Chain A
Amino acid sequence: MKQAVSRQNMLIVGGLAALFGVLQMGLLTGNYQTMQTVLHLLALGGLFGLGMRLRRQIAGKLLMAGVLFALPFISAMAGQAWVRILDFAILYVFLALGLNIVVGLAGLLDLGYIAFYAVGAYTWALLASPHFGLHLPFWVILPIGAVLACFFGVLLGSPTLKLRGDYLAIVTLGFGEIVRIFMKNLNAPINITNGPQGITLIDPVAIGSFKFSGTTQIFGFALSGPQKYYFLLLALVSLVVVINLRLQNSRIGRAWQAIREDEIAAKAVGINTRNMKLLAFAMGASFGGIAGGVFAAMQGFVSPESFALNESIMILAMVVLGGMGHIPGVILGAILLSILPEVLRYGVGPAQTAVFGKQLVDPESLRLLVFGLALVLVMRFRPAGLWPSPERQRELGEKPAEAKP
């Protein structure tokens, strides 16, 4: 109960901060109309909450919904580039939640998760682009992508069932590399993936004649492409969060956690560890596949470059840094790690000029350097992640040094 209250307070503080942000940006940029709309919406949300005399918790949720709704409009004032950054942050939340099933819940260290994302992205790219002249609608492609990714998940999962811990890590890593190398080279003798150049002119998500790319007018109010994708992604992620929450406390979720804690004991109490592990791989993979499809549609372009090992590692870092197996922590980790490099991109150059009067070192490498340092420091001071689950925190607090078996 205590935690719920503090979370609520956080939301309220966040809401106030957002309000201030809107006011300030509106005043600075002179974009009064958007500011007014956003303010009205926020006020409406607040009034609604109060007027209905709902419980405070629900009011907090409404406020959060208001903030989430307002975000793309607020960041649009700083430029559409920031809306795109937001889109990617949500996409990474999606991916991190998918990986969290495999790593966080079932305890299977997967370093090749990006392969499923790649499968989803290439499925979309091949079925909805001029490359093969196919333009299937999204409700056909997304399920195909999810099923294909799921198939690959089982394909990866089945030979690795016997492996433990770090052996599994290296096999999944190898699998991810194999998928990437095939995508890079399958342009000869039959051109399937168009090789390193990748596939361009991919169709956006479209429902009937409503396209998610380009600007449209809705109720006399211009919505840009990235803003529309924001809402699409937000809807998808909300769905994934719900699925994750439900899974975690289901029979399946508890079985996964039992396997994570002690596989032999889990087997002994009658859990079918083989099927459960395969299920974890399959589920995580299909989430990756769906995310990949949306990524391809949003970018309009895919190439093997986007699916390098670095990306797998980055998503794993999001899961671990946020707090493995704890959904709010994973979301936090994904948002922080996807936004931090972008903030640094804009912050590092000017900061150098301010301190030294000139650009001493390449801002690009300085940005990554700071990012790497941040990873090291967070792990140094919060080894269980920024926001670990309460049980895990308790475990760490009580358990003394764990001896190697």
Chain B
Amino acid sequence: MDIFLQQIINGLVQGSIYALVALGYTMVYGIMGLINFAHGEVVMIGTLVTISVAGLLIKVGMPVALAGLAGLIAAVAVCMALGWGLERIAYRPLRNAPRLAPLITAIGVSIVLQNLAMMIWGRNYLTFPPLLPKVQFEFAGANFTSVQVIIVLVSALTMGGLLLLVYRTKLGMAMRATSQNMAVASLMGVNINRVIAAAFVIGSALGALAGVMVGTYYENAHYQMGFMLGLKAFTAAVLGGIGNLAGAMLGGVLLGIIEALGAGYIGDLTGGFLGSHYQDIFAFVVLIIVLMFKPSGLFGEKTGDRA
């Protein structure tokens, strides 16, 4: 039983990170129907920027908490600028292009960002500076650290903030209108360009935050880390019903927990035939099963024919 609780806690932490990244995918998708494959790389850039900035500040003798905060702010700023720039340069000219063209652009952007990161930060794994105090707790036989608690709390707060933004502000209303019907929203006086740019910028800021969390949690970073993370987060977004904010959050947490439980129990379930290295399969198997019964995800609305 303690394994169960332990895996639930681990899954919750991993899932909160997935959820934050998934929000970036789902916001962009909800508004313009684009799978932004480059979002995982934005997260990676966020992590690496934090390493550079916070590492440098700690080296010159700044208190760790302050350096961490500065690193976070720098990462968020860089990623927001990146998100804005990508939308402006790469995606905006393709808004009326055939559906698959922006997808290929996103793949190109992802390759470019990965290799830029490799040129700047090198091929090796980088150590993430310990920005948060790490205190061990024990609860009903399961261990967890202060880092894990903070990750879950911060993502919950951020997601709450995002929901407020989308459902209580004018910008949020404009976003919802645009995602329902871009042409009509623009006739009603919504500045479409600004709304789409805002979706990219906010999504990237969330991605940067997620990047800092991933770094703090795993204590290292690498120029290729964005790929798998992005893939899982995208899976989470689809699981919840892509385009749906609450769906992305729940999908992320659910995926994290399923993965953790799967990794913990797969050995027992299959009598030792399959080991925990099959962990990655769980996410996809669950996804396929869910989509078989609910073709637009757990919370998604019925999508139109866009294929």
Instruction: Please give the residue numbers on chain A whose beta carbons come within 8 Å of chain B beta carbons, in ascending order.
Output: 103, 107-109, 159-160, 162-171, 173-175, 177-178, 181-182, 184-185, 188-189, 260, 262-264, 309, 313, 316-317, 320-321, 324, 361-362, 365-366, 368-369, 371-376, 379-380, 383-384, 392, 396, 400-405
Which residues in A have their C-beta under 8 angstroms from that of B107? Answer: 313, 317, 372, 375
Contacts A373-B112, A375-B105 hold; do A383 and B307 have CB atoms under 8 A apart?
A: no
Contact B119 A365 (CB under 8 A): yes
Contacts A372-B110, A405-B304 hold; do A185 and B278 have CB atoms under 8 A apart?
A: yes
Contacts A168-B307, A169-B35, A313-B107 hold; do A369 and B116 have CB atoms under 8 A apart?
A: yes
Contacts A109-B100, A372-B110, A375-B107 hold; do A362 and B94 have CB atoms under 8 A apart?
A: no
Contact B108 A376 (CB under 8 A): yes
Contact A379 B108 (CB under 8 A): yes
Quick one: which of B98-112 are within 8 Å of A by CB? 98-105, 107-112
Contact B111 A185 (CB under 8 A): no
Which residues in B have their C-beta under 8 angstroms from that of A178? Answer: 281, 284-285
Contact A164 B97 (CB under 8 A): no
Which residues in B have their C-beta under 8 angstroms from that of A404? Answer: 32-33, 181-183, 304
B283 at the interface (CB under 8 A from A): yes
The number of residue pairs between A and B whose CB atoms lie closer than 8 Å in the complex comes to 168
Can you name the residue of chain A whose Cβ is closest to the Cβ of B272? A189
Which residues in A have their C-beta under 8 angstroms from that of B280? Answer: 177, 181
B295 at the interface (CB under 8 A from A): yes
Which residues in A have their C-beta under 8 angstroms from that of B104? Answer: 316-317, 320-321, 375, 379
Which residues in A have their C-beta under 8 angstroms from that of B235? Answer: 170, 174
Contacts A166-B29, A368-B111 hold; do A189 and B273 have CB atoms under 8 A apart?
A: yes
B291 at the interface (CB under 8 A from A): yes
**Chain B min CB distance to A26 (Å):** 38
Can you name the residue of chain A whose Cβ is closest to the Cβ of B227? A309
The digit string for B192-226, where 1 denotes a CB below 8 A from any CB of A, is 00000000000000000000000000000000000
Count how many chain B residues have C-beta atoms less than 8 Å from C-beta atoms of the other chain: 60
Contacts A166-B306, A262-B305, A372-B111 hold; do A171 and B288 have CB atoms under 8 A apart?
A: yes
Please report the C-alpha to C-alpha distance between residue A395 and residue B75 in the assembled complex, in whole angstroms.
43
Please report the C-alpha to C-alpha distance between residue A159 and residue B107 in the assembled complex, in whole angstroms.
27
B170 at the interface (CB under 8 A from A): no
Contact B110 A403 (CB under 8 A): no
Which residues in A have their C-beta under 8 angstroms from that of B111? Answer: 368-369, 371-372, 375
Please report the C-alpha to C-alpha distance between residue A170 and residue B83 in the assembled complex, in whole angstroms.
23
Which residues in A have their C-beta under 8 angstroms from that of B94? Answer: 379-380, 383
B136 at the interface (CB under 8 A from A): no
Which residues in B have their C-beta under 8 angstroms from that of A163? Answer: 291, 295
**Chain A min CB distance to B35 (Å):** 6
Q: List 25 A-B contacts (CB under 8 A).
A: A108-B307, A160-B288, A162-B295, A164-B306, A165-B306, A166-B238, A167-B291, A167-B303, A169-B35, A170-B235, A175-B288, A177-B280, A188-B275, A309-B231, A362-B118, A366-B119, A369-B112, A369-B116, A376-B90, A376-B108, A376-B112, A401-B96, A403-B181, A404-B183, A405-B304
Which residues in B have their C-beta under 8 angstroms from that of A263? Answer: 305, 307
The 3 A-B residue pairs whose C-beta atoms are closest, nearest first, are A375-B108, A174-B284, A372-B111
| Most B C-beta atoms less than 10 A away, residue of A109, A400, A404 | A404
What's the dominant secondary structure at chain B's contact region? helix
B135 at the interface (CB under 8 A from A): no
Please report the C-alpha to C-alpha distance between residue A178 and residue B289 in the assembled complex, in whole angstroms.
13
| Most A C-beta atoms less than 10 A away, residue of B107, B114, B306 | B107
Contact A405 B305 (CB under 8 A): yes
Please report the C-alpha to C-alpha distance between residue A165 and residue B118 in the assembled complex, in whole angstroms.
33
Can you name the residue of chain A whose Cβ is closest to the Cβ of B303? A164
B297 at the interface (CB under 8 A from A): yes
B234 at the interface (CB under 8 A from A): yes
**Chain A min CB distance to B280 (Å):** 6
B191 at the interface (CB under 8 A from A): no
Contact B35 A166 (CB under 8 A): yes
Which residues in A have their C-beta under 8 angstroms from that of B307? Answer: 107-109, 164-165, 168, 260, 263
Task: Among A173, A181, A392, point to the contact of B278 (Cβ < 8 A).
Answer: A181
Please report the C-alpha to C-alpha distance between residue A1 and residue B122 in the assembled complex, in whole angstroms.
54
Please report the C-alpha to C-alpha distance between residue A8 and residue B33 in the assembled complex, in whole angstroms.
41
Contacts A165-B303, A372-B108, A376-B108 hold; do A324 and B100 have CB atoms under 8 A apart?
A: yes
Which residues in B have their C-beta under 8 angstroms from that of A384? Answer: 97-98, 101
Which residues in B have their C-beta under 8 angstroms from that of A165? Answer: 99, 303, 305-307
**Chain B min CB distance to A52 (Å):** 43
B242 at the interface (CB under 8 A from A): yes
Which residues in B have their C-beta under 8 angstroms from that of A371? Answer: 111
Please report the C-alpha to C-alpha distance between residue A365 and residue B113 in the assembled complex, in whole angstroms.
11
Please report the C-alpha to C-alpha distance between residue A316 and residue B105 in the assembled complex, in whole angstroms.
12
In addition to A160-B288, A317-B104, 16 A-B residue pairs with Cβ atoms within 8 Å of each other are A107-B307, A164-B305, A165-B99, A166-B33, A167-B238, A167-B297, A173-B231, A175-B284, A175-B288, A181-B278, A321-B104, A362-B119, A369-B119, A374-B108, A375-B107, A375-B108
**Chain B min CB distance to A361 (Å):** 5
**Chain B min CB distance to A262 (Å):** 7
B127 at the interface (CB under 8 A from A): no
Please report the C-alpha to C-alpha distance between residue A107 and residue B105 in the assembled complex, in whole angstroms.
19
Contact A379 B287 (CB under 8 A): no
B188 at the interface (CB under 8 A from A): no
Contact A181 B181 (CB under 8 A): no
Which residues in A have their C-beta under 8 angstroms from that of B105? Answer: 375-376, 379-380
Please report the C-alpha to C-alpha distance between residue A391 and residue B181 in the assembled complex, in whole angstroms.
28
**Chain A min CB distance to B302 (Å):** 9
Please report the C-alpha to C-alpha distance between residue A366 and residue B119 in the assembled complex, in whole angstroms.
8
Please report the C-alpha to C-alpha distance between residue A53 and residue B273 in the assembled complex, in whole angstroms.
70
Contacts A181-B278, A263-B305, A371-B111 hold; do A174 and B181 have CB atoms under 8 A apart?
A: no
Which residues in B have their C-beta under 8 angstroms from that of A262? Answer: 305
Contact B112 A167 (CB under 8 A): no
B140 at the interface (CB under 8 A from A): no
**Chain A min CB distance to B104 (Å):** 5
**Chain A min CB distance to B287 (Å):** 5
Please report the C-alpha to C-alpha distance between residue A323 and residue B98 in the assembled complex, in whole angstroms.
11
B93 at the interface (CB under 8 A from A): yes
Which residues in B have their C-beta under 8 angstroms from that of A401? Answer: 95-96, 183
Contact B281 A403 (CB under 8 A): no
